[in-house]
């Protein structure tokens, strides 16, 4: 059976529904689970960022670079909360989730190891200081709908350009189990490298930076004290539980790069035009 690399794909909506239900995974993030990006001081964006989820900041109030806020190029699908009661509650829930994840007993100490090239099964993984990902990290859920991966990182999380997090063998059930999810508890700041394909929920004590073209699947960028900085990114926080289970026998389709959307559309229009032209020629031959 071929592995299904979820971080590089989106599930075709005509063939599959990504099931979301209330579970203890949702309790992990609380109201912060509805946000694709949540900052402590600011959320700033440059470029055509697309966030499937809400957008918020607290205790700060500044969000820039989004069309619905200041006419910027970024878009998001959920609510926007800036320094209000809803944002404060999400910030409080984020803090609770962060310290709850930090308090878990770890199963494996990965201190000083590069995550690139590793294949890991569900568990709690510990880094005493910084964590680095160069290349590909493979997370094997082993078909378990309750598969849960937690990374406890003492200081910074850094991914190199073009690095990837692949989730393989996800649970094939009607909905994710109560423990399903991927969480990165970061002791200071996270920097996701240019064109990286990341996955999971980043909970950073300070700040989160997504460099140009980086993406996050099955997760979100949540910073407690500092800024979330974006630049032509894609964040899919459509599952508020933070899970990554899928229905049986999915059809997976590649996600085009942002710069290719126009080319794809032009190609479709050209194909339609060609078919119409051929049809017109065929009709004229029978007259």
Residue 150 contacts residue 185 (beta carbons within 8 Å): yes
- Answer yes or no: is 1 within a domain: no
Task: Based on the fold, state whether residues 210 and 264 are members of the same structural domain.
Answer: no
- Kindly report the average pLDDT of the chain as a whole number: 81
DSSP-derived letter for residue 255 is: P
Determine the structural domain holding residue 220 and report its residue range. 6-255
Q: State how many domains the chain has.
A: 2
pLDDT in tens, 75-130: 999 999 999 999 999 999 999 999 999 999 999 999 999 999 999 999 999 999 99
> Can you tell me the mean pLDDT for 6-25?
33
Q: Which residues pair with 181 in a beta bridge?
A: 148
pLDDT in tens, 222-266: 999 999 999 999 999 988 777 887 654 333 223 334 443 334 333
pLDDT value of residue 27: 58
- Answer yes or no: is 270 within a domain: yes
List Cβ neighbours of 181 (8 Å cut-off, separation of 6 or more): 25, 28, 148, 149, 200, 201, 241, 242, 243, 244
* Tokens representing residue 165 in the block: 């997090």
Task: Based on the fold, state whether residues 62 and 168 are members of the same structural domain.
Answer: yes
Task: Based on the fold, state whether residues 149 and 108 are members of the same structural domain.
Answer: yes
Task: Based on the fold, state whether residues 106 and 207 are members of the same structural domain.
Answer: yes
């Amino acid at each position: 059976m071929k592995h299904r690399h979820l971080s590089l794909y989106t599930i075709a909506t005509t063939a599959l529904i990504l099931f979301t239900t209330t579970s203890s995974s949702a309790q992990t993030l609380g109201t912060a689970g509805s946000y694709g990006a949540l900052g402590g001081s600011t959320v700033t964006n440059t470029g055509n960022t697309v966030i499937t989820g809400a957008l918020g900041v607290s205790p700060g109030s500044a969000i820039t670079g989004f069309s619905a806020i200041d006419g910027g190029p970024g878009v998001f699908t959920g609510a926007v909360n800036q320094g209000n009661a809803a944002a404060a509650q999400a910030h409080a829930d984020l803090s609770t989730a962060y310290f709850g994840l930090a308090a878990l007993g770890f199963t494996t100490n990965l201190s000083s190891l590069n995550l690139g090239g590793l294949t890991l099964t569900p568990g709690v993984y510990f880094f005493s200081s910084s964590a680095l990902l160069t290349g590909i990290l493979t997370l094997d859920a082993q078909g378990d709908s309750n598969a849960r991966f937690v990374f406890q990182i003492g200081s910074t999380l850094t991914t190199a350009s073009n690095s990837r997090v692949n989730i393989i063998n996800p649970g094939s059930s009607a909905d994710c189990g109560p423990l399903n999810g991927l969480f990165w508890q970061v002791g200071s700041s996270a920097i996701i490298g240019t064109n990286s394909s990341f996955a999971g929920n980043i909970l950073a004590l300070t700040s989160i930076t997504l460099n140009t073209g980086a993406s996050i699947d099955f997760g979100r960028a949540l910073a407690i004290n500092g800024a979330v900085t974006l630049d032509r990114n894609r964040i899919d926080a459509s599952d508020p539980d933070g899970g990554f289970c899928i229905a049986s026998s999915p059809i997976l389709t590649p996600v085009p790069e942002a710069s290719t959307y126009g080319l794809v559309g032009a190609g479709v229009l050209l194909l339609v035009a060609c078919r119409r032209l051929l049809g017109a020629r065929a009709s004229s031959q029978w007259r």
